[in-house]
Amino acid sequence: MKNESAVSDYEFDMLLKELEGLETQYPQLIDPNSPSKRVGGDVTKKFDTVKHKYPMLSLSNTYSKEEIVEWEERIKKTIESEIEYVCELKYDGVAIGIRYVNGIFHSAVTRGDGTQGELISPNVRTINSIPLKLKAPFPDDFEIRGEIFMPLAAFEQLNLDREKEDLPAFANPRNTASGTLKLQDSGAVSERSLDCFLYGLYQDRSAQSTHYDSVSYAGDMGFKIPRVADNMISKVSNVDGILEFIAYWEEKRKDLPFEIDGIVIKVNSYQQQEELGYTAKSPRWAISFKYKTERVQTLLESVSYQVGRTGAITPVANLTPVYLGGTTVKRASLHNAEQMEKLDLHEGDQVYVEKGGEIIPKIVDVNAGERLPNAKPVVFITSCPACSSILVKEEGEAQHYCCNEKECPPQVKGKIEHFIGRKAMDIDGLGAETIDALVELGFVHNVADLYDLTYEQLLSMDRMADKSARNLLDGLEQSKQVPFEKVLFGLGIRFVGATVSKKLAKAFLTMDAIRSASYVVLVV
C-alpha cells in the first residue's frame, strides 16, 4: 500500500500556493497538467471509472486566522442580507460520493480527479455507519458526500496486529483508509473498521433551504452526522463565532477518537451559496482552516536498539520528555540505519519531533545550528545488543537482522509470545513475564518445548500457584485442537502471515504435505 507523501501537508499546501502565484504571474508558462489544475487524487486503473454528476470540488484552505477574517469580509461584500455560517470539522480521510435510488444504496465513487472517480461500491458497502437502506422520507434519487476515515483505535489495533505478523506499520490513519478503500477484496475492507461522516447532500432540487437542515435531514435518514451537543457542528452568525470554533478544536482535537486536519466553514443558506458561486476549483461560499502539524524541539539523549522476534533491529531515539499533541513523548522510532543516516544524527543533537498524521511520533529534522562543536555522528551498531552476534543486512532490504534466531533471547521470547497469541495457538495463562521466566530458567528454548513442560517445573517457579500451573497445562493441551492455519501462523515464518497461513492450510492440510510440496505447486 504505497499511499505515502514525500512532503508534509503543510509543505504541500505552501508549494501549491507558490505555484499558483507563479502561474498567475506567468500565465504563458502554465502546464495543462499542472498540479494546480487538479482537484484531488489520482484515478487508478483497478476500478471502473465513472463521471461525477456534480463535480467534486475541493475547498480553498488557509493556515491563517487573518485570511479567515478577510474571507468573511469578502462574503459580506457580496451578500447584503444577514449571513449565517456553519462550522464543521475537517475530517482527515477520503472523500466519497454515495448515490441512493429509492432509499437503497446504489453506488459509491471516490473523488478521483474531481470530474471522474473510481467506483468502489463493494468496499463502501462494508462500512457499518453507511446505511444500505434509508429511513423514510428520502429523496428518490440523490447523492450524499462525506469523508471515510479510520478511527484512531482501529488504526492502532491494525498496526499492533501487523507488528505481530511482522508486517511494516502503516504510517497514518488517512493513508491507511485510502489504501484500504482500494483493496480488491471487500472482505478485507470489512475487517478494517472504517467509518464515515456525511457532510453534504447533492440533488437537483432540495427540500431544505440550508446546509445545516440538509445535514440534520441526512441524520434522520440514518447517516452518521456530527453531534451538535459535542460542538462538532455549529451555526454562528459572525467571524467571532468562527474564530471561537477554530480555537475550541485547536485545543480539543486531541481528544477526538479520529483525526481532523482543520475545520470547514460554510455559508449556510443555499440561496446565498448560489449568489457567491464558485471559482474553477472550489466554492466561494466555503473555506477550510487547517491546523499546523505540531512540531517541538527536544534533546536526543541516546539511541537504543530493539530486537524483534524475527531478528529485525529497530533503532529507537530516547528523548528528553517533551509535551506534544496531548501526550508526553519520550521515544521516537528511527526505523532503520538509512533513516538515521538521512537525518545525519549526532550525539546530543537537538531534534524536531512531529506527531502529524502519525500516531508514533517521528524525528523529522535536526537543529544543526545547535550542534555541539565536537559532536560525534551516531553510528548504527554492528552487533546484536542482546546476544552480540554480528548483524547482517541483505541487499535491497532496509532492516539489519540478528541471525541467531535459536538463541538470541528477545527472538526466542518474541517467537513464543507470537505462538501463544490469540490469532495463533490462543494459550491462556501465559503472559510475557512467565515466558521470560521460562526462557531464563532454561525450561523452554523454542515453541515445541512448551509441550514438554511438567507440573513440577511450573510449580518450582516464583509466584506460580497450583491453580495457575494446572490452567497453563490445560491451555497447552487444548491448544492442540486449534485449526492447522493457526498453527502455521503461530510459527511466525517470514512471509507467512494470517492470509498465507489460511491459503496454505486449505491447500495442504498437513505440515508434511507442505514440506513435500514443490515450488511449482506453491506458486499455483
Is residue 278 within 8 Å of residue 284, measured between CB atoms? yes
- Compute the least distance from the CB of residue 384 to ligand IVH, in Å: 46
Beta bridge partners, 322, equal 329
> Helices (DSSP H) in 26-107: which residue ranges?
65-78
For residue 371, give the amino acid letter.
R
Q: Measuring CA to CA, how many Å separate 455 from each of 7, 417, 443?
A: 57, 20, 12
- CB closer to ligand IVH, 91 vs 508: 91
- Count CB neighbours of 149 within 10 A: 24
Spatial separation of the C-alpha atoms in residues 353 and 30, rounded to whole Å:
37
- Compute the least distance from the CB of residue 12 to ligand IVH, in Å: 13
Q: Which three cell numbers stand for residue 354?
A: 512531529
Q: Using alpha carbons only, give the angle 435, 438, 441 rounded to the nearest 5 degrees.
A: 145
- Compute the least distance from the CB of residue 476 to ligand IVH, in Å: 50
- Compute the least distance from the CB of residue 147 to ligand IVH, in Å: 4
Spatial separation of the C-alpha atoms in residues 68 and 14, rounded to whole Å:
17
Out of 3, 59, 438, 504, the only residue in the binding site for ligand IVH (CB under 6 A) is 59
Q: Which three cell numbers stand for residue 233?
A: 457542528
Out of 222, 283, 429, 475, the only residue in the binding site for ligand IVH (CB under 6 A) is 283
- Compute the least distance from the CB of residue 490 to ligand IVH, in Å: 41
- Compute the least distance from the CB of residue 410 to ligand IVH, in Å: 42
Cα torsion 334, 340, 345, 347: sign? positive
Out of 9, 72, 88, 118, the only residue in the binding site for ligand IVH (CB under 6 A) is 88
Residues 426-465 that bind ligand IVH (CB under 6 A): none
- CB closer to ligand IVH, 95 vs 444: 95
Which residue is catalytic, options 37, 90, 182, 292? 90
Residues 146-165 that bind ligand IVH (CB under 6 A): 147
Spatial separation of the C-alpha atoms in residues 323 and 302, rounded to whole Å:
18
- Count CB neighbours of 230 within 10 A: 10
Residue 77's contacts (CB-CB under 8 Å, 6 or more residues apart) are: none
Q: At what angle do helices 409-420 and 432-440 cross, to 10 degrees?
A: 130
Q: What are phi and psi of 341, to 5 degrees?
A: -65, -40
- CB closer to ligand IVH, 271 vs 320: 271
Which range of residues in 71-79, 85-93, 267-275, 355-363 is near ligand IVH by CB under 6 A? 85-93
- CB closer to ligand IVH, 59 vs 242: 59
- CB closer to ligand IVH, 54 vs 455: 54
- Compute the least distance from the CB of residue 126 to ligand IVH, in Å: 19
**Separation of CA 345 from chain center:** 27
- CB closer to ligand IVH, 147 vs 485: 147
* DSSP E strands, 36-111: 49-51, 61-62, 85-91, 94-101, 104-110
Residues 337-366 that bind ligand IVH (CB under 6 A): none
Which range of residues in 84-92, 175-183, 344-352, 367-375 is near ligand IVH by CB under 6 A? 84-92
Residues 178-237 that bind ligand IVH (CB under 6 A): 199-200
Out of 68, 86, 95, 425, the only residue in the binding site for ligand IVH (CB under 6 A) is 95
- CB closer to ligand IVH, 146 vs 497: 146
Q: What are phi and psi of 512, to 5 degrees?
A: -60, -40
Interaction mask 114-153, ligand IVH, x per CB under 6 A = ---------------------------------x------
- Compute the least distance from the CB of residue 211 to ligand IVH, in Å: 9
Count of residues engaged in binding ligand IVH, rule: CB under 6 A: 13
Q: Using alpha carbons only, give the angle 56, 61, 258 rounded to the nearest 5 degrees.
A: 80
- CB closer to ligand IVH, 178 vs 404: 178
Q: Which of 49, 164, 51 is closest to 115 using CA atoms? A: 51
Does the active-site annotation cover 362? no
- CB closer to ligand IVH, 126 vs 214: 214
- Count CB neighbours of 483 within 10 A: 11
Out of 52, 90, 164, 413, the only residue in the binding site for ligand IVH (CB under 6 A) is 90
Interaction mask 38-57, ligand IVH, x per CB under 6 A = -------------------x
- Count CB neighbours of 249 within 10 A: 23
Q: What are phi and psi of 200, to 5 degrees?
A: -165, 135
Which range of residues in 19-27, 90-98, 153-161, 331-339 is near ligand IVH by CB under 6 A? 90-98
Residues 284-323 that bind ligand IVH (CB under 6 A): 286
Spatial separation of the C-alpha atoms in residues 147 and 124, rounded to whole Å:
11
Residues in the chain: 524
- Compute the least distance from the CB of residue 198 to ligand IVH, in Å: 9
Spatial separation of the C-alpha atoms in residues 256 and 92, rounded to whole Å:
12
Out of 47, 71, 85, 91, the only residue in the binding site for ligand IVH (CB under 6 A) is 91
- CB closer to ligand IVH, 72 vs 259: 259
Minimal CB distance to ligand IVH: which residue? 95
Judged by CB under 6 A, does residue 259 bind ligand IVH? no
Backbone region of residue 396 per phi and psi (left: phi > 0; alpha: psi in -120 to 50; beta: other values):
left
Judged by CB under 6 A, does residue 58 bind ligand IVH? yes
The answer to whether the bond into 137 is cis (omega within 30° of 0) is yes
DSSP state of 346: B
- Compute the least distance from the CB of residue 93 to ligand IVH, in Å: 7
What residue ranges bind ligand IVH (CB under 6 A)?
A: 57-59, 88, 90-91, 95, 147, 199-200, 264, 283, 286
Catalytic residues: 90
